Structure 1
Amino acid sequence: MNTKIWLITGISSGLGKALAEAVVKKGDFMIGTFRKKSQVDNFNKKNIKNTAAFLLDITDQKKIEEIIETITSQFGKIDVLVNNAGIGFVGAIEETSLDEVRNVFEPNFFGTLKLTQAVLPHMRNQKSGHIIQISSHGGIKAFAGFGIYNASKFALEGFSEALAQEVSPFGIKVTLVEPGPFRTKFAGNGLGLSQNTIDAYSDTAGVFRTKLKGVDGKQEGDPVKASNAIINLVYSEQPTLRMPLGKTALITIQMKLDSVQSDLNTHQKIAKNSVY
């Protein structure tokens, strides 16, 4: 069979919804998750060919294990896992409470990690699979006012980079998709804001907060084009570990690489002389 079975989290809107629709259009089987039962029921009532929807809050680790067992029992396998569900958050580091930090890390890191761990035994048994981690250009380069979100995506990038090396012998591939700004609800209803604000950060984190809210719905990235790019990557013979999406992502990631290279050049002699 040339078709694949996809599991995509968070298909109610944005990139998740666009990718789910693109997968169905291609003719593959799409299993999607929603956080609300009404969304699941409405989706399943449509009886769209080659689809199924399940209720899942990725912060519920017990539910994750149950869902994966149900899906693999019912459909036999999962060829592609897309960890798309997550949240955005804006606030200066000093402004942000630990509870707010945990609320970001639960879906963006811990939930994604747990779902990845739950799928891996099945992919190892079938000796194939592809895990798509929806990261961000903010998973490579940090921005003032975005530090907690950046930290959650940096963490995602770190474990996924190691994971790719660990599972390669089993025929499992891992790709970090790193979009720049896309026309989704990320900068709208999907964006969390620190409850505390400190005037001293108005020219740094405050500017970013205002700018991000102002571009909602006007971002350069097209979720449909991004979805097709992800599908093409999955079907390519040698998918890469990272895939930036959008002009802004290319610019910001290159800025990070240039910054790191500059620091390496500056401290190269000191680093070499520090070895005893």
Structure 2
Amino acid sequence: MMSKTWLITGVSSGFGLELTKQLLAAGNTVIGTVRNAAKIKDLIAQYPETFSYEKLDVTDVTAIHNVVSKVSKEHATIDVLVNNAGYGLFGAAEELSDEEVNKILSTDLLGSIQMIRSILPKMREQKHGRIIQISSYGGQVAFPGNSMYHASKFGIEGFAESVAQEVAPFNIGVTIVEPGGARTEFRYGSAQVAKAMPAYKGNPARSFEKMLAPANGLAPGDPARMATRIIESVDQNPAPLRMMLGSAAVQNTIDVLTKRLDDYKKQKDLAASTDFPDGE
């Protein structure tokens, strides 16, 4: 793989950190965004020539535009954008506060949308680029107790799939990455849980509690291997629109989509009954 310049959001932990470490070790240039630079002091010291960072809260739209404008001027090309910043929010929809709802949508959905919108002029001008949108198999499959996370991931996948068609003529590729459970801080550190309501005790919405407890077994996904597959995808042409990571995730998704397709096929007569008759 030829050396490239990567802009990655959320490089202080999880996939963002693992991607950054592998890319820098291979001789790439990385501009990472963080909220707390103390978490990446080792990278700053080890790669002074090829790693730089910008402090950024992706819920701040003005700051997004300013950061992207700054790094676009400082670097001849931005070859790859990785939208990685995000977190999980668990709890029944009724248990979530308005503030929690707004924050996760601003971070996981709107932040990614604005990062993509901001980088497109640079990529169009340079006549190439690759956008990696970190989603989840939760962008295709929904579980109880995770409604707002699914809202953000279903939403960003629709946005990214549409944008992929708009920017293909400019030699810009878009890949939606759908990881399954992985041993990252996302699951065992940054995940947030709504204040429980007694009415939901024993409800399916509380099933996530077992998943988040390390004592019940760790997630099967290896963040390092997943990061390697993501990096490799950048050299695929055309860009894969979706990339599923994790054997359990891909099987679960196939099962759900197969059932969904079967349900749609059963509705062909119903759907047709709402059309105007031929000739009218």
- Quote the Cα distance in structure 1 between the aligned partners of 2:251 and 2:275: 35
Match of 2:70 in 1: 70
One-letter code aligned to 1:7? L
How far apart are 1:210 and its partner, in Å?
A: 3.1
The whole-number CA distance in structure 1 between the counterparts of 2:29 and 2:43 is 15
Deviates more, 1:66-75 or 1:211-220: 211-220
With over 3 angstroms needed to count, the CA separation of the structure-2 counterparts of 1:252 and 1:218, relative to structure 1, is: same
Secondary structure in 2 aligned to 1:188? helix
Question: What are structure 2's unaligned runs of at least 5 residues?
Answer: none
> Conserved in 1, the CA contact under 8 Å of 2:210 and 2:216?
no
1:85 CA drift (Å): 0.4
Counterpart position of 2:61: 61
Question: Could you tell me how far apart the structure 1 residues matched to 2:204 and 2:22 are?
Answer: 38
Paired AA for residue 178 in structure 1:
E
Question: Which 10-residue stretch deviates more, 27-36 or 37-46?
Answer: 37-46
Inter-partner Cα distance in structure 2 for 1:19 and 1:217: 25
Percent identity over the alignment? 37
Specify whether residues 215 and 243 from structure 1 end up closer, same or farther in structure 2 by C-alpha distance, changes over 3 A only.
farther
What amino acid is aligned across from residue 14 of structure 2 in structure 1? G
Q: What is the match of residue 23 of structure 2? A: 23
Q: Could you give the per-residue CA deviations for residues 199-239 of structure 1, whole angstroms, max 9, x where no partner exists?
A: 33523011223323347981111111111101111011222
Query: 1:205 — aligned with what?
Result: 205
Q: In the TM superposition, what whole-angstrom CA distance separates every residue of 1:16-72 from its partner, at most 9, and x where no partner exists?
A: 111111111222211111111434655423344522122111111121122112211
Tell me what 2:51 maps to: 51
Give the Cα–Cα distance (whole angstroms) in 1 for the partners of residues 201 and 254 of structure 2: 26
Contact 1:95 1:198 in 2 (8 A): no
Q: Distance in 1 between matches of 2:33 and 2:217?
A: 24
- Give the aligned partner of residue 137 of structure 1: 137
* Residue 231 to residue 42, structure 1, CA distance change in 2 (3 Å): closer
Which amino acid letter does the alignment assign opposite residue 100 of structure 1?
E
State the partner residue of 2:106. 106
In structure 1, give the amino acid aligned to 2:261: Q
Is residue 250 of structure 1 aligned with residue 250 of structure 2? yes
Distance 1:10 1:39 in 2: 11
> Over aligned residues, Cα RMSD in angstroms?
1.9
Contact 2:84 2:133 in 1 (8 A): yes
CA 126–151 in structure 1, closer or farther in 2 if over 3 Å, else same? same
Amino acid at match of 1:59: T
Q: Which runs of 5+ in 1 are unaligned?
A: none
Q: Residue 146 of structure 1 corresponds to which residue in structure 2?
A: 146
Q: Is the 8 A contact 1:185 1:216 kept in 2?
A: no
Counterparts in 2 of 1:215 and 1:16: CA distance versus 1, 3 Å: farther
* Structure 2 letter corresponding to 1:63: A
State the SS of the aligned residue for 1:261: helix
Letter in 2 for 1:119: I
Q: Is the 1:177–1:242 contact (alpha carbons within 8 Å) kept by the matching residues of 2?
A: yes
In the superposition, the TM-score normalised over structure 2's length comes to 0.92
Q: How is 1:1-276 mapped onto 2 (pairs within 5 angstroms)?
A: 2-39=2-39, 43-200=43-200, 202-214=202-214, 218-276=218-276
Figure out how many residues of one structure are paired with residues of the other and give that number: 276
Q: Greater CA deviation, 208-217 or 223-232?
A: 208-217
> How far apart, in 2, do the equivalents of 1:216 and 1:85 lie?
27
Moved more, 56-65 or 76-85: 56-65
Deviations 1:136-163 (A, max 9, x none): 0001111011111000111110110100
Aligned equivalents of 2:52 and 2:254: distance in 1? 39
Q: Relative to structure 2, which stretch is displaced further, 34-43 or 92-101?
A: 34-43
Q: Bigger shift: 135-144 or 50-59? A: 50-59
Check conservation: 2:200, 2:206, Cα contact below 8 A: no
Over 3 Å counting, the alpha-carbon distance change for 1:237 and 1:82 in structure 2 is same
Whether contact under 8 Å (1:31, 1:52) holds in the other structure is yes
Distance 1:78 1:198, change over 3 A: farther
Q: Comparing 95-104 with 137-146, which one deviates more in the overlay?
A: 95-104
Deviation at 1:109, TM superposition (A): 0.8
